[in-house]
Structures are given as structure tokens and as C-alpha cells.
Amino acid sequence: MNTAYLVPSTWDFALDINGDLAMASDPYSLAQDAASAILCFQGECWYNTELGNPYNDTVFGKLPNLQLIKSYFVSAAMTVPGVVAAQVFISGFDNRKISGQVQITTASGGFAAVGF
């Protein structure tokens, strides 16, 4: 499945050499979609307000257990169709900003990783 390519350092759209919206394909597109799911707040998706992580309820204003956050992130990554396994690595937790990497395995056996 293709998805719009997002520049990893800015998480913004990119253009291809023809000036069109750059697209990412499997397996990277699935990893990018998994990272997008991780970054989604619960209630933020208009078409399905059950999606997303419960940042407002269990993360903001609290000192959550890192394993709990990782489990939220893995669960979010697993909501992406075509992802059969996901691992999350937290590389930073500084000034209320969590950074890390999600690594996914696809239904077709592909593997990809992307930072968040």
C-alpha cells in the first residue's frame, strides 16, 4: 500500500523529482503509517475517535511507566493493516518529548523501521 512520504526529520510532505507529492511504498509505507498511529492522540481521528493513544488520560501531567508507553505504541502500530509484528525502541525522553523508533514486520515478510 502506498502512502504520502513524510520527511523523517520534519514529518512534513516532500515532492518527487517531477514536483508531485512523493509517495512511499511497502514496507516503508507501513512503518511510516505505524509511526503516524503512534503519534495520534485518542479522539484525534475524526473518522474513528477510538483510535490513538490516551495521552490526555494517562501520560500528560503524570510520570508514566516507560513499559506502559511502549505497550501503547506497539498497540497503535498493530492497528495498521498489513503489520503483523511491531517493536518500539525509546531513544529519548527529554523535555516532555518522547523519541524513538518503530520496527515492523509485514504480512508479506517485509521489514522496515522509522523514527518518531
Please check whether residue 95 is in contact with residue 116, taking contact to mean a CB–CB distance below 8 angstroms. no
pLDDT along the chain (116 residues), means of 10: 91 96 96 93 85 77 81 95 96 83 96 94
Does some domain include residue 16?
no
Total-model pTM: 0.85
Residue 10 three-state SS = coil
Q: Give the per-residue pLDDT at 65.
A: 81
Write the CATH number for 57. Answer: 3.10.450.40
Domain that holds residue 53: 26-115
Does some domain include residue 57?
yes
**Backbone φ, ψ for residue 90 (5° rounding):** -95, 125
Domain count, the chain: 1
